Copies of this chain bind each other. A is one copy, B any other.
Amino acid sequence: MNNKEYQVRLSGFGGQGIILAGIILGEAVSLYENRFAVQFQSYGPEARGGASRAEVVISDEEIDLLELIEPDVFLALSQQAFDKYIGDAHEKALVIVDPDYVTNAPLSSRKVFAVPVSRIAREQIGKTIVINMVALGALAAITGLVGIDALKKAVSARVPPGTEKINLKAVLAGYESAREMN
């Protein structure tokens, strides 16, 4: 195969690890072979039929898809991420940061919510590894973009078996902490 941009579709049914396979392929070529990749999944009504599909675009050059995004919601859990991406956010974007990691957030027209998600993970759940779940709960509460019931169902379906309970607890802790903010 010798053209410059390759599009790869992986497909099957839920439980076969299709999306993880796509992520690993994207990371393999970009992190370890110096190429560019975009990995994505599109979800619609057909996703409910149990089919699973993941796409990977691989190129020697930057992929244009990158340019499409001016986020309406921007979550930053590190100062590096905040500094790098805050300029991309829509001027009316809702911005959510962890104040223990993002200590320098210059004033802007964007609305910034500080939610101590790492502290909540550590103190209420006892595991910092669930920081992403706490952040998802907080995002749901602040933006209203997803209902807490749908979020809980999706967490239960996706996390490794046996870890459902602690992940759900983390989502709820984030949700409750941030609910009073909006």
Is A164 interfacial (CB 8 A cutoff)?
no
Do the beta carbons of B23 and A19 come within 8 Å of each other?
yes
Do the beta carbons of A13 and B81 come within 8 Å of each other?
yes
Q: What B residues does A33 contact at CB under 8 A?
A: 146-147, 150
Q: What B residues does A131 contact at CB under 8 A?
A: 16-17
Q: Which residue on B lies nearest to A151, using beta carbons? A: B28
Q: How many residues of A contact B (CB 8 A)?
A: 97
Question: Of A40, A58, A94, which is in contact with the most chain B CB atoms at under 10 Å from its CB?
Answer: A40
Do the beta carbons of A66 and B42 come within 8 Å of each other?
yes
Copies in the complex: 2
Q: What B residues does A58 contact at CB under 8 A?
A: 145-146
Can you sample 13 A-B contacts with CB below 8 Å? Answer: A1-B144, A9-B69, A9-B85, A16-B78, A21-B132, A25-B145, A25-B146, A30-B47, A32-B153, A42-B63, A44-B62, A51-B81, A65-B65
Instruction: Identify the A interface with B (CB < 8 A).
Output: 1, 3, 6-13, 16-21, 23-34, 36-53, 55, 57-58, 62-63, 65-66, 68-78, 80-82, 84-85, 88-90, 94, 101, 129-133, 135-136, 139, 143-147, 149-151, 153-155, 157-160
